[in-house]
Amino acid sequence: MEKSLGASMKGGTRPIQGVLENNRERFDVPDHSGLWLQDNTGMDVPSITSMVASGAQVVVFTTGRGSTTGHAIAPVIKVTGNPDTFEFMSDNMDINAGTVLDGSESLRSVGERVFNEVLDVASGKLTKAEKLGYMDFIVFKTSPLADRLLGLDCGGDKGLLEPS
């Protein structure tokens, strides 16, 4: 599921290695390093949980409106390209990438700051979410009722529409 058109720009210029599926029937993990896309929910916490389950040890999470998520297992570095969001939520955002928009910093420079932040966090620095105590964890699960209403195979689960 593509969350936004901007999502296609967040991957940079590295070649995509493949698409990892995360659904009721299948959960993929990368078999080698590189840039992988994950076919998953667009909801913040379950998508981060899936990234961690697939092997991410530090998550760089981009947010325009200022998601207040963290994670119970892996640190989440929150990056926003919205200067207003960074100003309003500076206690919760780790990196202000809005400096590219106002012309005070190059994209390369912001990329280097993100890279260095990943190194620092991997070396023990706490993220803002960790300092605030955000320890979210959600495994995305579809609703058998919704699946039935949409005519999808529920994997043998009778759901809520059939009497027990």
Read off the pLDDT of residues 56-67 as tens digits, 9 standing for 90 and up.
Answer: 899 998 887 878
Distance CA 152, CA 145 (A): 10
Residue 162 lies in a domain: no
Residue 5 lies in a domain: no
Reduced to 3 states (helix: H, G, I; strand: E, B; else coil), residue 117 is helix
Residues of the chain with pLDDT below 70 are 1-12, 24, 138, 140-143, 146, 152-164
Q: Which domain holds residue 121?
A: 13-149
What pLDDT, on the 0 to 100 scale, is given for residue 157?
Answer: 46
Residue 36 lies in a domain: yes
CA distances to 67, 122, 138 from 70, rounded to whole Å, are: 9, 15, 11
Residue 156 lies in a domain: no
What pLDDT, on the 0 to 100 scale, is given for residue 127?
Answer: 96
Residue 159 lies in a domain: no
Tokens of 144: 């058998």
Q: Could you tell me the pTM of the whole model?
A: 0.72
Partners of 35 in beta bridges: 16
What pLDDT, on the 0 to 100 scale, is given for residue 158?
Answer: 46
**Which contiguous run of DSSP H or E holds residue 151?**
none
Residue 48 lies in a domain: yes
Residue 6 lies in a domain: no
Tokens of 53: 């389950």
Residue 155 lies in a domain: no
What pLDDT, on the 0 to 100 scale, is given for residue 117?
Answer: 97
Q: Look-up: residue for tokens 């379950």?
A: 46
Domain count, the chain: 1
User: In 10 A of CB 3, how many CB atoms?
Assistant: 14
- Cβ-in-10-Å burial (0-12, 13-18, 19+) of 113 comes to middle
What pLDDT, on the 0 to 100 scale, is given for residue 106?
Answer: 93
Q: Look-up: residue for tokens 């389950």?
A: 53
What pLDDT, on the 0 to 100 scale, is given for residue 122?
Answer: 96
What pLDDT, on the 0 to 100 scale, is given for residue 161?
Answer: 44
